[in-house]
Chains A and B, each alone.
Chain A
Amino acid sequence: MSKLGNIPVQAKSEKKRTNPLARVFDELIQFCQSRSMFMLHYCTGCGAIELPPAMTSRFDMERLGIQPMVTPRQADILLVTGYVSVKTLKRVILTYEQMQSPKYVIGICSCTVNGGMYWQSYATAKVLNEYLPVDVYIAGCMPRPEAVIMGLRRLMSNIENGKGNAWKDYYERYDYYLGNQQHLFGDDWQTPVDVIGEAKFYDLEGEETYGEHTRTLEQHQEPLEAAVMRVKL
């Protein structure tokens, strides 16, 4: 259990890293990862307005090694900056799944914690960590840049200490997250990202990776095997 309130992040895996570099130079790698974070700020709501001040000359995130990146493929942190409607959440999830591990989610603003001022809304996902493994929440409406940087530093120290493993939770308890997603989006919910395949490929499966929800998924899933280059004469 993480320190952060009742977030049910249950990363407990002590499996070896899949990356050969990471296996050998564990400490060094963790240090580098904490000092080089590319953030994809998915600007869902008003909180995004606080990020530019955090990046520019007053606070200068770059001195912490944090840079904005625009594509999930290159990014390490997903900043969800505000309320997440159901429609937006689909995109957030897809974007998250397209990021490459290790990857971290920071929920900014109260809306991501409990729905905030949208707590009554029928179209808003209230608790972000039901759908994605959130590493850090930064509460406030909106949190000031100092708070944002504070949160980021917290994440940095987590990573450096080997605690930033929420991303493994998504693989190991995929069925849980998928279930919540299916509850919101319907049973035919599917992203083009083959999360289960990734878990298998990188040996990141846990006991709760599979379950009834993944079975539901399998029933109507469009095949997602990569096209294999082969010579068929």
Chain B
Amino acid sequence: MASFNSISELLAQLLFMPMLAFLLGLVMVLMYRKIAARLQRRIGPPFFQPVYDIVKLYSKDTQISHGLIHDIGIVVAVGGYVAAVILLPVPGMDGIADKGGIITLSYFLMIPSLGMALGVGQCANPNGSIGISRALTAMLAYDIPFIIVVFGVALHYQSTSLVGMIDYQQAHQWGIFEMPLLAAAGLFALQGMMGKHPFEIYVAPAEIATGPMVEMSGKFMGGLFVMQSFQFYVASVLYTSLFLGGGANWFEFLLKIFFVVEIPMSISFLFPRYRTEDMVRIMWKWPVMLALIGIAFVI
């Protein structure tokens, strides 16, 4: 079991990992927008566009809050991801990650949703509530295949520790080769987890005015932009750790996570949006089936 040599190393990790995640996440956001633009034969935003957006949102002169819970919702949404980011192993910094494990992490990933849901709830905006109702339903949809995948992987590695899984993969073979079906199902779940097209019914801009974000202004929206970049980062690193053997060094790590996140991004704009129940249906059908067959192979 990995541990830290000193308190300073721990503090360094605590500080460094969220910052790293944020920066990488910003690049991923840019990448997402660029891919979308290119697929639509546009030029797309400039390189620093994500930074401009966040700076602009944080520098708004006026912004509204519907109450303390509204504020806390954003705090939890961002903070939950910060905590989750800390529990994800990156090359050379897996000391804290070892305290968590995959089950804990899966639960940590639900905390931001719940926090944000609470915040949106206090806005008393029906569009927001509808959005949350859809978002939670979507969570129900993608979490079941995701959890099955997690189960299969943990069963395969006989461990719930992400660090242990990475060690195993680096010693033997990548998980994607040992468990191709689970990896495919995981990719499916990942698509849902990122909350982008085609599974973004819960924001549905033209219908419910971006749902949960309807009352988010200024730094509230900024917080959500920060959260989004964390979200891309977490999804890609998690998938990399489970199936692609993590990263032995930084170069490999970055390569893998950008490769992973590129796949769902590319798929995103190829499909129209799914309705909530259709999303649930498709998520409970194909990835679950794949994952269960995958588990059968694992056992």
Residue of A63, A74, A227 with most partner-chain B CB within 10 A: A74
Other contacts beyond A36-B56, A65-B45: 6, CB < 8 A: A35-B56, A36-B52, A57-B42, A63-B43, A73-B213, A202-B61
Size of interface on B: residues with Cβ below 8 Å to A: 37
- Is there an interface contact between B45 and A63, defined as CB atoms closer than 8 Å? yes
Contact B53 A57 (CB under 8 A): no
By the criterion CB–CB under 8 Å, are B213 and A71 in contact? yes
- Whether, in the assembled complex, A32 has its beta carbon less than 8 Å from a beta carbon of chain B, the answer is yes
- Are A73 and B42 neighbours in the complex by a CB distance under 8 Å? no
Q: Which of B63-71, B108-116, B193-201, B280-288 binds A?
A: B63-71
- Is A101 a contact of B42 with CB atoms below 8 Å? no
The answer to whether A229 touches B67, judged by C-beta atoms less than 8 angstroms apart, is yes
**CB-CB under 8 A for A62 and B214, given A33-B56, A74-B221:** no
Distance (whole angstroms) from the CB of B83 to the closest CB of chain A: 25
B37 at the interface (CB under 8 A from A): yes
> Interface size bucket, A side?
20 to 34
Are the CB atoms of A74 and B43 closer together than 8 Å? no
Contacting residue for A32 out of B52, B62, B217, CB 8 A: B52
Asked if B59 contacts A202 (CB within 8 A), the reply is: no
Contact B213 A198 (CB under 8 A): no
Q: What string of 1s and 0s marks CB contacts (under 8 Å) between A38-81 and chain B?
A: 00000000000000000011001011010001110110100000
Q: Is B298 an interface residue (CB 8 A)?
A: no
Q: Are B210 and A56 in contact (CB under 8 A)?
A: no
* Leading 9 A-B pairs by shortest Cβ distance: A36-B52, A73-B217, A32-B55, A60-B42, A36-B56, A57-B41, A100-B217, A70-B205, A101-B62
Nearest CB in chain B: distance from A191 CB, A = 14
Task: Please measure, in the bound complex, the distance between the C-alpha atom of A21 and the C-alpha atom of B61, giving whole angstroms.
Answer: 10
Residue in B43, B49, B62, B209 whose Cβ sees the most chain A Cβ within 10 Å = B62
B45 touches A71 (CB 8 A): no
Residue A120 is within 8 A (CB to CB) of chain B in the complex? no
Residues of A within 8 A of B53 (CB): 36, 65
Nearest-neighbour CB distance to chain A for B226, whole angstroms, equals: 14
Residue of B nearest to A60 (CB): B42
What residues of chain B lie closer than 8 Å to A227, measured between beta carbons?
A: 67
Most chain A CB within 10 A, of B58, B216, B217, B218, is at B217
Indicate with 1 or 0, residue by residue over B38-82, a CB within 8 angstroms of chain A CB atoms: 001111111011011101101111111011100000000000000
Do A33 and B59 form a contact, CB below 8 Å, given A60-B37, A63-B45?
yes
Within 8 A of B (CB), among A3-27: 17-19, 21-22
CB nearest neighbor in B for A198:
B62
Residues of chain A contacted by B221 (CB below 8 angstroms)? 73-74
The answer to whether A70 touches B52, judged by C-beta atoms less than 8 angstroms apart, is no
**Docked-complex contact B68 and A19, CB < 8 angstroms:** no
A102 within 8 A of B: yes
